[in-house]
Amino acid sequence: MAHVDAIESANLDARSGTPLMPLSEIALTGIYEISKILNAPNRLQTTLASVLNVLSSFLQMRHGVISLLADDDVPDITVGVGWNEGADERYRARLPQKAIGQIVATAVPLVVEDVAKHSLFATDAAALGAVGSDRVSFIGVPIRIGVKVIGTLTIDRVWDGRSVFRLDSDVRFLTMIANLIGQTVQLYRVVSRDRDRLMAESHRLQKELSELKPVRERKKVLIKGIIGDSPALRSLLDKIIIVAKSNSTVLLRGESGTGKELIAKAIHELSPRAKGPFVKINCAALPESVLESELFGHEKGAFTGAINSRKGRFELADKGTIFLDEIGEISPAFQAKLLRVLQEQEFERVGGNHTLKVDVRVVTATNRNLEEAVARNEFRADLYYRISVVPILMPPLRDRRSDIAPLAAEFLKRFNEENGRTLSLDASALEVLMGCGFPGNVRELENCVQRTATLAQGGSIVMDDFACRKNECLSAMLWKGPSEFPPARLRPAVPLPVLPRTASGSAEGYGPSPIQPAVDSIPATVEATSYGQVPDRERFIAAMEKSGWVQAKAARILGLTPRQIGYALKKHGIEVKHL
């Protein structure tokens, strides 16, 4: 962008020389652009250098420097226009030390029309370019956090003979920018000091979780809504028991439909805050303006329709737990607002100026890869550290297959109670469910049971009642891809394994109650995009011989995946030949 003298010349009336646009509007535009930069998730040095780059477009200036004083474990920082890594010393050499010292000591802006004639610049005028006939002016304003000066924002320019009023207006503009910088630096420094403590706490809890050993005599924890007894689920619940005892922020990670909300509530109910409120909100379900009001509340008249004051979710969750679902979907601008609340546990309602303090335990959830989002500058690194003190990975349903049968039975029980029916699950129906990949996890299983129960005509649900047995499974259509959308090409999402049967003809391991599924004959994981049945032994060996015993080639010949090939090798007890 061009310097402001170029902007001003374009902004002047050709005849009268009067401004077409008030300088106040230009300043407002500059503040708006700089505020966007300060809200962006970048390194502090990069952010400050970008601020100076924008300033050079709105002010007549040759050089601009932001210098921050050291603070505890945070070193001093000096950046200028065009800053890059390792360039601090170059910009530090341009600083007039006596002038900077006066600004820091007095907390008052310094304006000098001609540095060559000012005692504070006796040894620094040449460094600022005041040589020969060039007349250099200087403006420096303090950067403050509260009443404490933590740095300076300085610019210098070749004096063009304009009025002192112009210098005064520039000082006011720079002071507003310095105030914004001070707020940003405060946030960075608080996070920097807090990060080591968070990482140490996270390391301690992760170590405790990794050393957790199953104890047979341990009393099993029963949590309302959480059904199953698979090793993956038991391991998850054991971790939750430990994590719930602390006040650490928890990040629940996992695929959609794995029950993150139930686990968040379990953490609350097992914690010392169990008697307090449990408040939840889906961050992706609301636009940013509405989300801010929902979380922080608003004052009467804050916006159109705000006829009364209203408490936000954080206020309502005081002394309890707040669950922020889909945390990865909030905008970078709102991330900065949320960071302060998580860090300081204080905020202001929308339209208010009174700071509210709360005591809230925060549990968040996402199905996004936040590390990749941080790398792409889509998610603030400081917020990531704040919410990821204790990350917990939710196991997908395919990793807890022994829970499918009891979950299905529970969902069918609920359906019967709501609809006045007495349906039961036939053993063949359980075979179908055990063979499905369920990319939508528990939520998809519940939908599948309800949909099948609704259309079932007999007294029990049997294999042929399922949509996948009629080439009508919407999940198979979705996860196979757009090219597979025509109904004629619909197939089950995964091969349906045939379970061994007992002498009575029922599926082995499926008694009337309790339901205990047999999973030994089912692969640990089933790819949602795998289709077709595993061939018989003779056909399989023929394909392996034809491919020279290369499993990948055999998979292509048979139209299977390499995972299915490996499973079939074990199933048929075939020893791989090395040619």
CATH number, domain of 570, equals 1.10.10.60
Total domains in the chain come to 4
Domain final residue pick, 478, 499, 523: 523
Cβ atoms within 10 Å, residue 52: 23
Task: Determine, yes or no, domain membership for 212.
Answer: no
Domain shared by 278 and 424, yes or no: no
Q: What pLDDT shows up at residue 222?
A: 67
Q: Identify the residue whose tokens are 């979907």.
A: 329
Task: Determine, yes or no, domain membership for 528.
Answer: no
- Closest residue by Cα to residue 383 from 543, 272, 249: 249
Domain final residue pick, 395, 429, 464: 395
pLDDT at 452 over 70: yes
Least confident of 45-49, 161-165, 477-481, 516-520: 516-520
Q: What pLDDT shows up at residue 495?
A: 36
Domain shared by 67 and 104, yes or no: yes
Residues 385-397, buried b or exposed e (16+ Cβ, 10 A)? bbbbbbbbebbbb
Angle between helices 44-58 and 23-38 (to 10 degrees): 170
Least confident of 26-40, 271-285, 362-376: 26-40
Task: Determine, yes or no, domain membership for 336.
Answer: yes
Domain final residue pick, 173, 190, 207: 190
Task: Determine, yes or no, domain membership for 205.
Answer: no
Rounded Cα distance, 228 and 97, in Å: 69
Task: Determine, yes or no, domain membership for 496.
Answer: yes
184, 378 in Cβ contact below 8 A? no
Domain shared by 162 and 226, yes or no: no
Domain shared by 20 and 138, yes or no: yes
Residues 6+ apart with CB under 8 A from 150: 68, 69, 71, 143, 144, 182, 185
327, 364 in Cβ contact below 8 A? yes
Domain shared by 453 and 541, yes or no: no
Domain shared by 106 and 41, yes or no: yes
Q: Identify the residue whose tokens are 């030390």.
A: 97
Domain shared by 222 and 126, yes or no: no
Q: What pLDDT shows up at residue 160?
A: 64
Residue 131 sits in a domain whose CATH number is 3.30.450.40
Domain shared by 300 and 425, yes or no: no
Domain shared by 474 and 550, yes or no: no
E strand map for 414-509: 424-425, 460-461
Residue 406 sits in a domain whose CATH number is 1.10.8.60
**Distances from the Cα of 368 to the Cα of 17, 257, 380, 466, 549, angstroms:** 56, 13, 14, 31, 39
Residue 227 sits in a domain whose CATH number is 3.40.50.300
Reported as a pLDDT band with limits 50, 70 and 90, residue 186 is confident
Reported as a pLDDT band with limits 50, 70 and 90, residue 212 is low
Domain shared by 391 and 403, yes or no: no
Domain shared by 12 and 136, yes or no: yes
- DSSP secondary structure string, 274-293? TTS-EEEEETTSS-HHHHHH
Q: Which domain holds residue 556?
A: 534-579
Q: What rounded mean pLDDT belongs to the chain?
A: 76
Domain shared by 281 and 360, yes or no: yes
Task: Determine, yes or no, domain membership for 131.
Answer: yes
Rounded Cα distance, 227 and 408, in Å: 10
- Residue 530: CA atoms inside 13 Å, Cβ hemisphere, count? 23
pLDDT digit string, tens, across residues 112-138 = 888 778 888 776 665 665 555 677 888
Instruction: Identify the helix (H) or strand (E) that includes residue 143.
Output: strand 136-145
Q: What pLDDT shows up at residue 161?
A: 60
**Distances from the Cα of 108 to the Cα of 140, 164, 475, angstroms:** 9, 17, 67
pLDDT digit string, tens, across residues 504-556 = 333 333 333 333 333 333 333 333 333 334 456 777 787 887 777 777 777 77
- Closest residue by Cα to residue 117 from 107, 130, 106: 130
Task: Determine, yes or no, domain membership for 207.
Answer: no
* Segment 237-265 mean pLDDT: 90
Angle at CA of residue 52, ends 51 and 56, nearest 5°? 120
- Closest residue by Cα to residue 189 from 342, 74, 69: 74
Task: Determine, yes or no, domain membership for 209.
Answer: no
